Structures are given as C-alpha cells and as structure tokens.
Structure 1
Amino acid sequence: MRIDFSIFGLYLAIIGSSMFYTLFVMWGVTEVVELDGIAYWVVAGIVFLIISVCGLRFYVPRLRDLW
C-alpha cells in the first residue's frame, strides 16, 4: 500500500487547524459555563472531534485540487 504524503499533509493541516479552532470554542464555552477538571477535557475532546470530522468531511475534498 502506497501512502500519498501530499494528501497525508493535508489531513495533518486540517487536524492542526481543528486544534486551533477548538481553543476559541472552548474559550467561549468556559465564558458561559463553569467547567473544571475532567469535564473541561471531555467537552474539549468532543468539540475537537466534531470540528475534525467536519473538516475532514467537507474541506479535504475541496482542497485536494489546490494542495
């Protein structure tokens, strides 16, 4: 099985940007709801997964021609 590293880099870029957007979403969530300890990390993980899946589902097919 051959790995196309240019597409692999695209996936890494989407995941990296998902981490960046998760920071802003979590900042907004903590301004509205008080989250401590494990609850914060659970919500952050769920938000990250949602943003990552949406990014991988919708952005990768559009960016393949540009990358």
Structure 2
Amino acid sequence: MRVNFSILGLYLAVIGSSMFYTLFIVWGITAIVPMEGRYYWGVVGVVFLLVSVFSLRFYIPRLRDSW
C-alpha cells in the first residue's frame, strides 16, 4: 500500500485549521452559555468533529487541485 504524503499533509492542514475555528466557535458558545468541566469538553469535541467533517467534505475537493 502506497501512502500519498501530499494528500496526508492536506488532511492534516485542514484538521489543524479546524482546531482554530473550534476555538472561536466554542468561545462564542461559552459567552452565551457558561459551561465547566466535562460539558465544556463535550461541546469542544462535538464542535471540532462537526467543523472537521464539514471541512473534509466540502473544502478538500477544492484544495486538491491547488495543493
């Protein structure tokens, strides 16, 4: 099995940028609804997964041509 490291780097870049967007989305949510402990980390996990899935689904096909 051959691994294309160029595409792997593209996926890692999108995952990294998803962390950045998650930071601001969760910051906005906690400004409206104060949370602590496991609820906070649950929201962080869900938001990160949603941002990552939507990024990988809609943004990767556009980036493949330019990467």
TM-score band w.r.t. shorter chain: over 0.9
Q: Tell me the TM-score normalised to structure 2 length.
A: 0.99
1:8 corresponds to which residue?
8
2:62 corresponds to which residue?
62
Structure 2 gap segments, 5+ residues each: none
* Distance across 1 between alignment mates of 2:60 and 2:36: 34
Runs of 4+ with deviation above 3 angstroms: none
**CA deviation after TM superposition for structure 1 residue 35, in Å:** 0.5
* Distance across 2 between alignment mates of 1:33 and 1:4: 43
* Distance across 1 between alignment mates of 2:24 and 2:39: 17
Q: Tell me the TM-score normalised to structure 1 length.
A: 0.99
**CA deviation after TM superposition for structure 1 residue 31, in Å:** 0.3
Aligned length: 67
Structure 1 gap segments, 5+ residues each: none
2:19 corresponds to which residue?
19
